[in-house]
Structure 1
Amino acid sequence: MTTISVKGGPNPVPGARQVYALAWPMTLKAIFLHGTVVIDGFLLSSLGEGALAAMGLAAALGGIVLGVIFAFSHAMQIRTAQAFGGGDLVFLKSVLASGLAVSLGIGVLGVAMILIWGGSLIGALAPTPEIAHQAQLYLSIFTIVIMGEAVGQSIASFFNGCSRSKLPLYGYLLSVPINVGSSIVLIHGHLGLPAFGVAGAAMGSAIAITVQATFWSLLLLRTNDHLRRVAGWHNTTFLPTVKRHIRFALPIAATFVSATLATHVCSLIYANMSLNGFAAMTLIAPWNLLAGQVAMQWTQATGILVAQLLGKRTPEDVLDRFLSRAWMGAFVTAGIVSMIFLAMCLSLDWIYPNLEGETRAILFGFLPILLVIQFPRATNAICGNTLRAAGDTVYVMHIFVWTQWAFRVPATALLVLYFDAPAFWILSLFLWEEVLKFPAFHRRLWRGDWKRSDVSG
């Protein structure tokens, strides 16, 4: 086994400062990632509802493939941290090669399915032939984005797992301005170019992702070129190594895919609510997504550091001390998110001046839930990411899948379709879901088996 002395890794007993150093670039990266979709929608809004419908339809289909790629990249992030913590170069090379191979495989399969069935599916879903034509054109160009993300997200996850979370952020600082600038030019036909409309937004994204993936690839060659000269694979040969990577990643990916599907199903059910209630649920969703990144990325950074410590076979008392410090930090970040929602709710008249008063009243009524839910959500996420870091991925998957599909989705359907419940009680289901997860997560963590996990396999 080839090993290295890991430079730039965490201290033997890392604390909140190390988690923060890893988490803040990941938080900004996540905000840039989700904010790009909002920017594309804003840039196309001047072309009318038809253009937005075409982009939304195409992006929904392409987003399914991207969602699977992002889910597997999160698993690669944890696996990389395990290898990096142990200082095993063969393991590290194997994770990088396996993660890229799996991600590219998903990208190729997804693009093939889009090219074969995407056109007919869009034709069946689009309200008019013109919207269908624009959506098909957007989606065909968007396949470049899918392949670029298949490469880029794997490299970004590798950097995060190696405690180099600033490197992926640099890629977004480069690509986001390129995306906005090129989309404006291509959508509206500036600088002597023709106006491509909806297709121009896809072209801008494709250009930006290509630049971003190329930039990250060059950074990878610059920082980890030595891995190409490392002989051997972690599980004897490459094929068993990839299979082992998939076995580790599949439950994590399934957890993220399940969460996405549950959210989409609930969103379809929300359409049966009153117009004001549906509008309030729709408006609160992006706030939850963006503001929640503050606490979520803290807990993911905690999981990365736990995986590194387990890779180093760190003593149990050191693991306990680190996790207690990270837990305190998670409560602080949860408090910050709560204050963001407090400020949002107190500023509704300014943020949404054109909304009906009833919709603003419903949004303000969400405040007690938004203040309270951040704390059980943060502590559950600490447990989940810690258990994943120790390889207990199937148990974590079961907690998420059962609470989503045996509780939240059917409860949402019952409250909306049968009881016609107010929006407050619909949103409260997210809080009750966290309450249900709480004992299952904490009982497993307090049992302590994770501290003795061998993550080198």
Structure 2
Amino acid sequence: MNTTFPTRDISSTRAVFGLAWPLTVKAIMLHGIVVIDAYLVSSLGEAAVAVLGLSASIAGILLGLIVAFSNATQIRIAQAFGSGDKVFLKSALLAGLTINMAVILIGLVVLSLSAGAVIEQLAHTPWIAAEAKRYLSVFAIVLFAEAAGQCLTSFFNGCGETRLPALSYLLAVPLNVVSSIVLIHGLFGAPELGVMGAALGSALASVVQVGFLAFTLLSSRRDLLRVAGWRNGSFAATLRRHFVFALPIATTFASATIAMSVCGLIYATMPVNAFAAVTIIMPWVQVAGTVGMCWAQATGIIVAQLLGRTTSEETLDAFLSGAWRAALFAAALVSVFYACICLAAPWIYKDLSTETQTTLLSFLPILLLLPFPKGSNAICGNTLRAGGDTVYVMHIFVWSQWLFRVPATAIMVLYLDLPVIWVFSLLLVEELVKFAPFHLRLFRGGWKRGVVPL
């Protein structure tokens, strides 16, 4: 299936929705795995949640790199698919898969040498440190599966078959829930593994998910792997060219994920109740936030198509205004969702202490406001990328994270020992820091002419 937008439909929000909803379902399912693990483990108490939070912060760095390079591979595959060049398509797929696997192998070697010392330094108790190490040893299976799965997802998305990756997660998530419950609590004669059961459940689900994608690819596109030749003459040259193309695109995505993981490691030094509250709420922030992010990505894709057709500035403005209004409506829905989660925390996480539940409720004012600047910034960022202003967008993300959010988090937690609500508010303040640079650049209008303004 090739995702295209007819001229009469391209200025409508229906076109954006048709592209965005499978991306949203897949993204929600991906983040939902973490939410499910946090929910299931919460019945074991704050210490178990701390194990999950510490392990996820470390593993999240590698997962972020994989997602980052896979996003670049998706663009490369889309170019190849559009050109109809099977050699280019095969080259993009195998080069992307090779890079993903290399990143995971190098990352796991680094983790084996350094993760133990980091965990022992940050863990509140020896039990938390020991369980976090065990969790990561099993989670390595998830990392290998995601390295292949994210590349295959990029292949299908780039070819316009966005529903297949979403379907793979619809298969994997229920399996993750059932297997994790059984292994955490030792049901039906299975061993009672506690936190380790959540890791094994995620591993099983990831293997099934990537198996489904691999089977689908081999069934439908087996001929692709038999195509002779490489895009740049040899596989080594093709791999090098793919990496050069992917690196600047991956930098933007990787920076955000690594910054989040570094902040997660800093959060681990907070009191157990505060750290548990942040560990529980952050996956919800990511899950609900995908609605606005995927809408913005779809908007950027269509803006790029409009620019490629030399569409008038009036039509561009009309399309973007409609997409923007819809993005603000989506932000309002996300705010309502956050309100429901915070207000229902005493029932959802009834096994946690009253202090942890109260902390979750204190996050509500920030979460009600966060989706609006975040969604508007995402529309700006994806529109500017579509107009060729990718380096400027990268600078906004990188410097707002590493000159503001990460050092501010470290100062608040490690030196000032401020309450967790102040630390959590940095999510909103970071979006406000990016707001003016993004919107002023967009309103200058250079992106409409495909010209990057000085």
TM-score scaled by length of structure 2: 0.81
Contact 1:148 1:209 (C-alpha < 8 Å) held by counterparts:
yes
Identity fraction in percent:
54
Deviation at 1:151, TM superposition (A): 0.4
Deviates more, 1:171-180 or 1:137-146: 137-146
Contact 1:9 1:162 (C-alpha < 8 Å) held by counterparts:
no
Deviates more, 1:88-97 or 1:67-76: 88-97
Residues 19 and 189 of structure 1: CA distance in aligned 2, closer, same or farther (over 3 Å): same
What is aligned with 1:382? Answer: 379
* AA matched with 1:9: T
Alignment partner of 1:185 is 2:189: no
What is aligned with 1:100? Answer: 97
Within-5 A mapping of 1:318-357: 322-343=319-340
Deviation at 1:101, TM superposition (A): 1.6
What is aligned with 2:204? Answer: 207
Determine which of 158, 161, 170 is the counterpart of 2:155. 158
Determine which of 310, 329, 335 is the counterpart of 1:315. 310
Deviation at 1:222, TM superposition (A): 3.5
CA deviations 1:266-304 (Å, max 9, x no partner) are: 556668889998787666534422222211121122234
What is aligned with 2:135? Answer: 138
* AA matched with 1:36: I
Residues 197 and 235 of structure 1: CA distance in aligned 2, closer, same or farther (over 3 Å): same
What is aligned with 1:259? Answer: 256
CA deviations 1:354-412 (Å, max 9, x no partner) are: 87699859946853x54444233212212222333455433212111112222334445
Contact 1:82 1:307 (C-alpha < 8 Å) held by counterparts:
no
What is aligned with 2:32? Answer: 35
Determine which of 18, 22, 26 is the counterpart of 2:23. 26
Deviation at 1:80, TM superposition (A): 3.3
What is aligned with 1:113? Answer: 110
2: CA distance, partners of 1:421 / 1:119: 28
What is aligned with 1:3? Answer: none
Deviates more, 1:281-290 or 1:206-215: 281-290
TM-score scaled by length of structure 1: 0.80
CA deviations 1:199-221 (Å, max 9, x no partner) are: 43333222211111010112223
Deviates more, 1:417-426 or 1:406-415: 417-426
Residues 90 and 382 of structure 1: CA distance in aligned 2, closer, same or farther (over 3 Å): farther
2: CA distance, partners of 1:361 / 1:146: 31
- Unaligned runs of at least 5 residues, structure 1: 1-5
CA deviations 1:322-362 (Å, max 9, x no partner) are: 44443332222123223334555666776678876998599
2: CA distance, partners of 1:167 / 1:319: 31
What is aligned with 1:294? Answer: 291
- Unaligned runs of at least 5 residues, structure 2: none
Contact 1:299 1:382 (C-alpha < 8 Å) held by counterparts:
yes
Contact 2:135 2:195 (C-alpha < 8 Å) held by counterparts:
yes
Deviation at 1:149, TM superposition (A): 0.4
2: CA distance, partners of 1:226 / 1:38: 39
* AA matched with 1:316: T
Residues 377 and 37 of structure 1: CA distance in aligned 2, closer, same or farther (over 3 Å): closer
Residues 227 and 384 of structure 1: CA distance in aligned 2, closer, same or farther (over 3 Å): farther
Deviation at 1:123, TM superposition (A): 5.6
Contact 1:179 1:204 (C-alpha < 8 Å) held by counterparts:
yes
Deviation at 1:148, TM superposition (A): 0.6
What is aligned with 2:4? Answer: 9
1: CA distance, partners of 2:163 / 2:390: 27
CA deviations 1:389-436 (Å, max 9, x no partner) are: 455433212111112222334445566778887776655544443333
Alignment partner of 1:172 is 2:206: no
* AA matched with 2:245: F
Deviates more, 1:87-96 or 1:345-354: 345-354
Deviates more, 1:203-212 or 1:235-244: 235-244
Residues 390 and 153 of structure 1: CA distance in aligned 2, closer, same or farther (over 3 Å): farther
* DSSP 3-state at the match of 1:183: helix
Deviation at 1:154, TM superposition (A): 1.1
2: CA distance, partners of 1:428 / 1:272: 18
What is aligned with 1:227? Answer: 224
1: CA distance, partners of 2:185 / 2:421: 42
1: CA distance, partners of 2:317 / 2:92: 27
What is aligned with 2:69? Answer: 72
Within-5 A mapping of 1:79-94: 79-94=76-91
2: CA distance, partners of 1:201 / 1:273: 24
Give me the CA root mean square deviation: 3.9
1: CA distance, partners of 2:3 / 2:237: 30
Contact 2:40 2:181 (C-alpha < 8 Å) held by counterparts:
yes
Number of equivalenced pairs? 446
What is aligned with 1:404? Answer: 401
1: CA distance, partners of 2:126 / 2:271: 30
Contact 2:380 2:438 (C-alpha < 8 Å) held by counterparts:
yes
Deviates more, 1:128-137 or 1:89-98: 128-137
Deviation at 1:103, TM superposition (A): 0.9
Deviation at 1:174, TM superposition (A): 0.9
* AA matched with 1:107: I
Alignment partner of 1:440 is 2:437: yes
Deviates more, 1:206-215 or 1:300-309: 300-309
Contact 2:49 2:276 (C-alpha < 8 Å) held by counterparts:
no
1: CA distance, partners of 2:74 / 2:218: 18
